[in-house]
């Protein structure tokens, strides 16, 4: 059973870089078919997809964060990393690591794909404040 655990500083100063690590156990970040993703949840608000990295190293990110975001893999440690530069108070929230996957399912003769997140890590709270 795959488990994900986020870690990193809980407090980051404005204009600095937020750095988080997601350690994957029970599975490999090198496995085909998974999109290792970061998602954040602003206080009392909803969920925002940040971006993902594929085992090949290909990344895709939310256009709203594109220029500040770096997502990388460390296959030797089975970890996924997130770096978000020039943070402001608006970047405060709980940051989740999640495994993105393409679920193939069929109904009768028709087969389709669905892209979802499962499982998720427990999340880590990051506060941006001086």
Partner 1 sequence: DIVLTQSPGTLSVSPGESATLSCRASQTVSSSYLAWYQQKLGQPPRLLLYGASNRATGIPDRFSGSGSGTDFTLTISRLEPEDFAVYYCQQYGSSPLYSFGQGTKLEIK
Contact footprint for partner 1 (CB under 8 A): 37, 45-49, 60, 62-64, 96, 98, 100, 103, 105, 112-123
Min dist. Cβ of residue 125 to partner 1 (A) = 11
Distance between CA 67 and CA 69 in Å, rounded? 6
Distance between CA 109 and CA 49 in Å, rounded? 33
Min dist. Cβ of residue 48 to partner 1 (A) = 7
CB closer to partner 1 out of 8 and 48: 48
Distance between CA 65 and CA 43 in Å, rounded? 18
CB closer to partner 1 out of 16 and 60: 60
From the number of C-beta atoms within 10 Å of its C-beta (0-12, 13-18, 19+), residue 21 rates as middle
Min dist. Cβ of residue 105 to partner 1 (A) = 5
Distance between CA 37 and CA 62 in Å, rounded? 11
CB closer to partner 1 out of 11 and 47: 47
The residues facing 105 across adjacent strands are 112
CB closer to partner 1 out of 5 and 16: 5
């Amino acid at each position: 059973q795959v488990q994900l655990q986020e870690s990193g500083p809980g407090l980051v100063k404005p204009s600095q870089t937020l750095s988080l690590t997601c350690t994957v156990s029970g599975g490999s970040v090198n496995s085909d078919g998974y999109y290792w993703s970061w998602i954040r949840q602003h206080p009392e608000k909803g969920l925002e997809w940040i971006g993902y990295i594929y085992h090949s190293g290909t990344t895709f990110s939310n256009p709203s964060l594109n220029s500040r975001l770096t997502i990388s893999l460390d296959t030797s440690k089975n970890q996924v990393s997130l770096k978000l530069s020039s943070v402001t108070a608006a970047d405060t929230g709980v940051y989740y690591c999640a495994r993105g996957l393409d679920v193939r399912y069929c109904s009768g003769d028709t087969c389709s794909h669905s892209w979802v997140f499962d499982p998720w890590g427990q999340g880590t709270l990051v506060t941006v404040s001086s």
